[in-house]
């Protein structure tokens, strides 16, 4: 039998190992390629983008959030978080006062000058910029590690992957639909193939007619859209999905009745919160877009491809 002294030694060693494990540094790589290291799971987190807020809550970090930017409205409890400005203008004094131990930043959405000032505060920054549908699940997993909520985050990531896989399996072999995604009408703007929405279009069996343009959100002419002659035109709408009769920016295309999207009545609007934010709810937006493109296929004249 072990001696009392040996037992005490084993017990002490176990406690030390547990303590070391509890305080082991957490290291992940963010979407900018930078390494983010925390000495312990984050306890006071600030979100600097609405999609980031959704990701943090989905990853199990809601109770650890102490601040967020404007328009962080999902889930509903996020509306109660103290505001620290918006993506263009941050309230740095408020951020400091909230004493965060982690700030999650929208890499290309937050103003560069203010990001530089954030770096000067020496508070760990995690840059979030998911480009592809699969990146949302990866983001959930990494945020779960930083928050110490991996069980919740991994479950959310698995559920999201399952939703996307189901859509991919259903629409992978469907006939292609050419799509013009309209971001804005004055000036006329779209998205290129590097944007996550273009990934959604592909998932649904669609083809982004301006995928090869630069930059990420290029400006195009009406003549370019007419030349591309998309089979469907899609835009984001505030709130619930609306028809083009309620969205003048879509209805204006009816001035060109020979445009295939107009001739076949394929002008679609999707809730912007579901399609624009690279967060778990984009699976719902993708489902809506896939259904819209399936409707476009049903509108084809006999013999049309």
CATH code, domain carrying 259: 3.40.50.1980
Domain contains 15:
no
Looking at the 3D structure of the chain, how many domains does it have? Answer: 2
Residues 114 and 206 in one domain: no
Domain contains 12:
no
Task: Provide the pLDDT for residue 12.
Answer: 44
> pTM (2 decimals)?
0.87
Residues 87 and 200 in one domain: no
Q: What is the distance between the alpha carbons of residues 277 and 55, in angstroms, rounded to a whole number? A: 10
Domain contains 169:
no
Residues 151 and 31 in one domain: yes
Task: Provide the pLDDT for residue 87.
Answer: 73
Residues 144 and 77 in one domain: yes
Of 160, 194, 220, the residue that ends a domain is 160
Residues 263 and 201 in one domain: yes
Domain contains 112:
yes
Task: Provide the pLDDT for residue 57.
Answer: 98
Domain contains 166:
no
Residues 156 and 39 in one domain: yes
Q: What is the distance between the alpha carbons of residues 108 and 130, in angstroms, rounded to a whole number? A: 11
In DSSP terms, which residues pair with 65 in a beta bridge? Answer: 45
Domain contains 73:
yes
Residues 123 and 82 in one domain: yes
CA angle 94, 23, 25 (to 5 degrees): 75
Domain contains 8:
no
Question: Comparing 176 with 122, which gets the higher pLDDT?
Answer: 176
The pLDDT tens digits for 12-39 are 444 444 444 455 799 999 999 999 999 9
Task: Provide the pLDDT for residue 78.
Answer: 97
Residues 118 and 216 in one domain: no
- Helix axes of 282-298 and 150-171: crossing angle, nearest 10 degrees: 10
Q: Do residues 183 and 189 make contact, with C-beta atoms less than 8 angstroms apart? A: yes
The pLDDT tens digits for 158-171 are 999 999 999 999 99
Residues 96 and 184 in one domain: no
Cα→Cα distances 61→64, 69, 201, 262, Å: 5, 16, 30, 45
Residues 220 and 252 in one domain: yes
Q: Which domain holds residue 224?
A: 174-298
């Amino acid at each position: 039998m072990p001696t009392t002294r040996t037992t005490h030694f084993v017990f002490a060693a176990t406690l030390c190992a547990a303590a070391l494990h509890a305080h082991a540094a957490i290291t992940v790589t963010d979407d900018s390629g930078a390494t983010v290291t925390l000495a312990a799971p984050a306890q006071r987190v600030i979100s600097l983008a609405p999609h980031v807020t959704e990701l943090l809550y989905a990853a199990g970090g809601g109770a650890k959030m102490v601040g967020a930017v404007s328009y962080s409205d999902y889930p509903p409890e996020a509306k109660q978080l103290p505001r620290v400005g918006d993506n263009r203008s941050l309230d740095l004094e408020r951020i400091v006062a909230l004493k965060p131990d982690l700030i999650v930043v929208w890499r290309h959405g937050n103003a560069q000058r203010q990001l530089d000032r954030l770096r000067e505060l020496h508070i760990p920054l995690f840059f979030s910029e998911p480009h592809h549908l699969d990146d949302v699940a990866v983001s959930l997993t990494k945020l779960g590690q930083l928050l110490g909520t991996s069980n919740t985050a991994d479950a959310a990531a698995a559920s999201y992957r399952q939703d996307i896989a189901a859509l991919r399996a259903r629409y992978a072999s469907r006939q292609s639909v050419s799509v013009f995604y309209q971001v804005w009408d004055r000036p006329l703007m779209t998205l290129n193939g590097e944007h996550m929405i273009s990934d959604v279009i592909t998932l649904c069996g669609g083809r982004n007619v301006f995928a090869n343009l630069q930059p990420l959100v290029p400006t195009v002419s009406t003549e370019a859209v007419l030349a591309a002659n998309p089979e469907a035109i899609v835009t984001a709408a505030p709130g619930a999905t609306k028809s083009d009769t309620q969205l003048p920016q879509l209805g204006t295309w009816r001035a060109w009745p020979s445009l295939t999207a107009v001739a076949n009545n394929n002008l679609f609007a999707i809730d912007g919160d579901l399609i624009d934010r690279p967060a778990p709810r984009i699976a719902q937006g993708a489902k809506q877009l896939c259904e819209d493109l399936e409707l476009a296929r049903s509108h084809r004249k006999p013999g049309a491809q």
